[in-house]
């Protein structure tokens, strides 16, 4: 029996809203790198994500040359969160956000300002700058950031109402690299919707993010580049449900048995 | 031999790889073939920019199994039709830190041998010591696509076929028994599911480098291939961008392709850039080509990145409809 059959949908949905919108699933699915648009479509059907993200490249925006692919995305009938992947400056990201608003008729923008070409680590300085400009223009900004609390504060001050810290570098599949940092972020911003974005490799990583109390996980490479994207999309869907249910169920604390704190009953003193 | 009075008159529209292979296939079956392209020459579309890799097993990394099954016969077809198919296999390599990608490539494909430092040095002496693990696909091959297109045109003429390269077809389509449409994105009215996938490629001349087979370099974001041509010329390709923009190559794409070539071997730093090319690949949503019959018209379209790999099989399928 599928998990969704035995629990009400509400039982794994976050109470925190994303700019007034409640996600229908804690899974956000990226649309890049699939073997074909058809396999992407099947993966979306299997994952039933709350949103799909789509990147807008300049080559596609000129004369709307990417329209054929965008139409395929829009036909998926899942809310679209356009992103600014591949932008290296605040200015580029702002321009791309404008194009995305026009193409997808949405004020949502997943803001990426990349600072380093190899690790794709965010340039948090450019990010805060672009977030401020876009928020003032009425955009609803979903910033891809690190787990740095000070940067997070500045993003909120710039107008962001959602934070998307990385788990590990984009496409690395390393999982949640800094558990302490992600936990601190959850504790520090109890009312802000938080999404682990980037670095997730396998469904257990996604479940772990939800177990920490995160509201959603964004996954792309781990689905698109798997040998069977459709099956792993379903696995991720189940994993985020499991993680969210577990978080709400108040799991037990782990215990360090290596440091006994009570007398050992039933064991005779040998001396 | 079919008697001339039994010949069917067939118009093949589009002189890319699909159209040329189809025209030759039909002419070889004794039909009266007219090839037409409004672009004024052969290869006015994406075929001109192709890599020319005949790599059924490597393609299984991202293509469904039916692509591999359908494309195996094409290597034999090209060997029958071209004098210089390079049958050296193909080699898949990855930089040391991306060796995980090599493992996954191997899990998604078949018909390869895992090879190490010594074998790589033996097969490609210029790469000696640079790579310590690779996958060798011994049954794969490559061709020079532009020379292949010219050779097919000569073959068609030799079989009595006619080729017309004018902006307007000077003949009535209704005067033909069959029309085979191989015009890619221009046939969108009949194939509304088609989309274009932009691809960019470079031609480099690097006199310090010799390679004997096509090489794929894996990378999490920028996988590339390098196909050696004659005279130390190398084709480096190709980007895959969901866009139908056919304008000039972007600086980013040039940097990415050149970076990857440089990572394969620093000698590419001194290479001469001969050409920067852009093509838009006609593709269906599943990236699998189709042969579709509609009355006396047959469409062969959606070749995606598999034009040279699949054209012989699709041409045979079309010919079986026409000649049955």
Domains of chain B: 9-51+144-193+287-323 (3.50.50.60), 90-138+195-283 (3.30.9.10)
Candidates B195, B220, B243; nearest CB to A59: B243
Chain B residues with CB under 8 Å of A227 CB are: 104, 107-108
Q: Work out how many CB contacts closer than 8 A connect A with B.
A: 61
The DSSP 8-state label assigned to residue B34 in this structure reads E
pLDDT at residue number A171: 84
Chain B residues with CB under 8 Å of A62 CB are: 245, 247
Pairing of strands B162-164, B9-13: unpaired
Phi-psi region of B269 (alpha: psi -120 to 50; beta: other; left: phi over 0): alpha
Contact call for residues A198 and A166 (beta carbons, < 8 A): yes
Pairing of strands B178-181, B233-237: unpaired
Percentage above 90 pLDDT, chain A: 67
Suggest the residue from B242, B254, B284 to mutate for an interface test with chain A (most A CBs closer than 10 A).
B242
Answer yes or no: do B63 and A35 touch at CB < 8 A. Answer: yes
pLDDT at residue number A70: 83
pLDDT for A63 beyond 90: no
Distance between CA atoms of A259 and B102, rounded to whole angstroms? 44
φ, ψ for residue B302, nearest 5 deg: 75, 40
Distance between CA atoms of A41 and B292, rounded to whole angstroms? 23
CB proximity A72 to B under 8 Å: yes
pLDDT at residue number B175: 93
The contacts of residue B3 (CB under 8 Å, 6+ apart) are none
Distance between CA atoms of B34 and A131, rounded to whole angstroms? 60
Closest residue in B to A68 (Cα) is B195
B324 CA to chain A: closest CA distance, Å?
33
For residue B72 the two structure tokens come to 């195996």
pLDDT at residue number B287: 94
CB proximity A39 to B under 8 Å: yes
The contacts of residue A42 (CB under 8 Å, 6+ apart) are A229, A230
pLDDT for A265 beyond 90: no
Among A56-60, A176-180, A232-236, B191-195, where is mean pLDDT lowest? A56-60
Contact call for residues A155 and A163 (beta carbons, < 8 A): yes
The DSSP 8-state label assigned to residue B208 in this structure reads T
Distance between CA atoms of A135 and A185, rounded to whole angstroms? 22
Among candidate residues A91, A110, A140, A248, the one labeled active-site is A110
R_g of chain A computed on alpha carbons: 20
Comparison of pLDDT for A177 and A10, the residue scoring more:
A177
SS3 string, chain A, reads CCHHHHCCHHHHCCCCCECCECCCCCEEEECCCCCCHHHHHHHHHHHCCCEEEEECCHHHHHHHCCHHHHHHHHCCCCCEEEECCCCCCHHHHHHHHHHHHHHHCCCEEEECCECCCCCCCECHHHHHHHHHHHHHCCCEEEEEECCCHHHHHHHHHCCCCCEEECCCCCCCCCCCCCHHHHHHHHHHCCCCCEEEECCCCCHHHHHHHHHCCCCEEEECHHHHCCCCHHHHHHHHHHHHHHHHHHHHCCCCCCCCCCCCCCCCCCCCCCC
Which pLDDT tens digit goes with each residue over A67-91? 888 888 888 889 999 999 889 999 9
Cis amide linkage into residue B238, ω under 30° from 0: yes
pLDDT at residue number A252: 85
The DSSP 8-state label assigned to residue B249 in this structure reads P
Chain A residues with CB under 8 Å of B242 CB are: 57, 60, 66, 68-69
Cα B2 off chain centre by? 32
Of A215, A211, A167, the residue nearest A21 (C-alpha):
A215
Burial class (CB in 10 A: 0-12, 13-18, 19+), A80: buried
Chain B residues with CB under 8 Å of A58 CB are: 250
φ, ψ for residue B212, nearest 5 deg: -110, -5
Of B283, B292, B281, the residue nearest B314 (C-alpha):
B292
Annotation says A110 is catalytic: yes
CB proximity A58 to B under 8 Å: yes
Pairing of strands B141-142, B214-217: unpaired
Of A34, A54, A38, the residue nearest B195 (C-alpha):
A38
State chain A's mean pLDDT as an integer: 88
The contacts of residue B291 (CB under 8 Å, 6+ apart) are B298, B299, B300, B314, B317, B318, B321
pLDDT band with cut points at 50, 70 and 90 for residue A59: low
Chain A residues with CB under 8 Å of B221 CB are: 171
pLDDT for A6 beyond 80: no
What does pLDDT average to in each consecutive run of 10 residues of chain B (324 residues)? 70 96 96 94 91 94 91 93 94 89 93 95 94 95 96 96 91 93 92 92 94 92 91 93 89 91 91 95 95 95 95 96 91
Interface of A with B in 176-235 (CB under 8 A): 221, 225, 227
- Side by side, the strands of the sheet bearing B162-164 are B162-164, B32-36, B9-13, B178-181, B297-301, B290-294
pLDDT for A15 beyond 80: no
pLDDT for A53 beyond 50: yes
Candidates B220, B243, B245; nearest CB to A171: B220
pLDDT at residue number B5: 61
pTM, full prediction: 0.85
Which pLDDT tens digit goes with each residue over A154-176? 999 999 999 999 999 888 899 99
Distance between CA atoms of B168 and B151, rounded to whole angstroms? 25
Q: Name the range with the highest mean pLDDT among A52-61, A70-79, A127-136, B90-99.
A: A127-136
């Amino acid at each position: 029996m599928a998990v969704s059959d035995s629990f009400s949908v509400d039982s794994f949905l976050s109470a925190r809203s994303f700019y007034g919108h409640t996600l229908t699933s804690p899974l956000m699915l990226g649309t890049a790198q699939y073997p074909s648009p058809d396999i992407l479509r099947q993966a979306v059907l299997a994952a039933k994500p709350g949103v799909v993200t789509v990147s807008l490249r300049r080559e596609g925006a000129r004369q709307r040359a990417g329209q054929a692919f965008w139409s395929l995305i829009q036909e998926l009938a899942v809310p679209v969160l356009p992103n600014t992947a591949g932008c290296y400056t605040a200015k580029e990201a702002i321009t791309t956000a404008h194009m995305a608003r026009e193409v997808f008729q949405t004020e949502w923008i997943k803001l990426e300002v990349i600072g380093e070409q190899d690790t794709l680590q965010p340039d948090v300085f450019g990010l805060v700058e672009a977030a401020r400009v876009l928020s003032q223009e009425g955009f609803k900004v979903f910033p891809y950031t690190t787990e740095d609390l000070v940067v997070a504060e500045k993003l909120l001050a710039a107008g962001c109402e959602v934070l998307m810290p990385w788990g590990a570098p984009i496409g690395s599949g390393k999982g949640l690299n800094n558990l302490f940092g992600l936990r601190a972020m959850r504790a520090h911003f109890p009312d802000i919707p938080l999404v682990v974005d980037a670095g997730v490799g396998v469904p257990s990583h996604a479940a772990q993010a939800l177990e920490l109390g995160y509201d959603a996980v964004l996954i792309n490479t781990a689905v698109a580049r798997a040998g069977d994207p459709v099956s792993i999309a379903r696995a991720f869907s189940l994993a985020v449900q499991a993680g969210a249910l577990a978080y709400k169920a108040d799991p037990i604390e782990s215990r360090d048995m290596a440091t006994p704190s009570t007398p050992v009953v039933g064991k005779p003193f040998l001396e | 031999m079919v008697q001339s009075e039994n010949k069917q008159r067939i118009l093949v529209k589009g002189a890319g790889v699909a159209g040329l292979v189809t025209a030759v296939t039909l002419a070889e079956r004794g039909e009266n073939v007219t090839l037409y392209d409004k672009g004024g020459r052969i290869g006015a579309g994406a075929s001109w920019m192709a890599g020319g890799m005949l790599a059924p097993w490597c393609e299984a990394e991202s293509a469904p199994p039916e692509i591999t099954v359908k494309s195996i016969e094409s290597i034999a077809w090209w060997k029958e039709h071209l004098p210089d198919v390079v049958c050296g296999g193909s080699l898949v390599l990855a930089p040391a830190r991306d060796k995980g990608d090599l493992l996954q490539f191997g899990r998604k494909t078949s018909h390869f041998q895992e090879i190490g430092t010594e074998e790589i040095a033996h097969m490609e002496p210029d790469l000696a010591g640079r790579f310590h693990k690779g996958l060798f696909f011994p049954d794969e091959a490559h061709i020079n696509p532009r020379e292949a297109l010219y050779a097919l045109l000569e073959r068609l003429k030799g079989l009595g076929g006619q080729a017309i390269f004018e902006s307007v077809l000077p003949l009535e389509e209704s005067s033909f028994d069959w029309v085979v449409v191989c015009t890619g994105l221009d046939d969108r009215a009949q194939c509304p599911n088609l989309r274009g996938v932009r691809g960019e490629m470079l031609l480099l001349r690097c006199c310090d480098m010799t390679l004997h087979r096509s090489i794929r370099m894996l990378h999490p974001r920028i996988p590339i291939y390098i196909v050696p041509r004659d005279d130390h010329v190398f084709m480096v390709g190709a980007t895959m961008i969901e866009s139908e923009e056919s304008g000039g190559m972007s600086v980013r794409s040039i940097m990415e392709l050149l970076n990857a070539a440089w990572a394969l071997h620093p000698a590419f730093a001194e290479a001469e850039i001969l050409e920067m090319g852009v093509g838009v690949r006609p593709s269906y949503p599943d990236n699998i080509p189709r042969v579709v019959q509609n009355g006396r018209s047959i469409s062969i379209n959606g070749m995606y990145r598999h034009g040279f790999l699949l054209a012989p099989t699709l041409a045979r399928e079309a010919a079986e409809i026409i000649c049955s």
